């Protein structure tokens, strides 16, 4: 009879099938007392192999605040110390983000004055994006030519050209 009253009490309280935490007295998420892992913070896209997400502000130290209403706003954003301190790969991501947002704003603009202002901003960020692409290609080419074997022994018949030592 007491057991039946305990079960009815659990049903009324809504704790039936759940165990309670002895320290806090709160019921746990799953039946049987199994605790689920904490959900991952943030919901934005995350580059592979990186703990950084692009669209959420999980690490304020890594954040560069951006403005893109005018060309001058974009110039100011790209001249910030917080932007220049980032690696080239991170700078490219920020430039792409600004480009996407300006392009979307330009596409939605109705007012002629706003549209012309955003067009100047779009032209500027596209030129910066192209120069960033060119720098990426230069860096990749430099990486390839500096050490084609990248510290690995060349397999027999691999076709690697022998590395020439510069004479000083």
Alpha-carbon dihedral angle through residues 58, 136, 67, 62, given to the nearest 10 degrees: 20
**Of 56 and 145, more confident:** 145
- Whether residue 15 has pLDDT greater than 70: no
- Tell me if the pTM is above 0.75: no
pLDDT at 36: 44
26-44 pLDDT, tens digit per residue, is 655 554 444 444 445 555 5
pLDDT at 33: 43
**Summary mean pLDDT of the chain:** 76
- Residue 23 makes CB contacts below 8 A (sequence gap 6+) with none
- Residue 103 makes CB contacts below 8 A (sequence gap 6+) with 122
- Whether residue 135 has pLDDT greater than 80: yes
102-134 pLDDT, tens digit per residue, is 999 999 999 999 999 999 999 999 999 999 999
């Amino acid at each position: 009879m007491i057991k039946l009253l305990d079960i009815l009490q659990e049903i009324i309280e809504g704790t039936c099938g759940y165990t309670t935490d002895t320290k806090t007295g709160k019921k746990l998420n799953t039946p049987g007392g199994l605790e689920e892992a904490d959900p991952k913070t943030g919901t934005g896209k995350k580059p592979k192999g990186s703990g950084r997400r692009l669209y959420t502000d999980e690490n304020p130290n890594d954040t560069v605040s951006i403005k893109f209403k005018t060309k001058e706003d974009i110039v100011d954003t790209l001249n910030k110390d917080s932007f220049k301190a980032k690696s080239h790969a991170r700078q490219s991501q920020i430039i792409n983000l600004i480009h996407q947002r300006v392009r979307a704003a330009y596409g939605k603009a109705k007012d002629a004055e706003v549209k012309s202002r955003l067009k100047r901003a779009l032209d500027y960020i596209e030129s910066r994006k192209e120069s960033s692409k060119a720098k990426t290609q230069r860096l990749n080419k430099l990486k390839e030519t500096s050490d084609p074997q990248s510290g690995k022994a060349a397999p027999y018949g691999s076709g690697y050209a022998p590395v020439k030592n510069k004479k000083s």
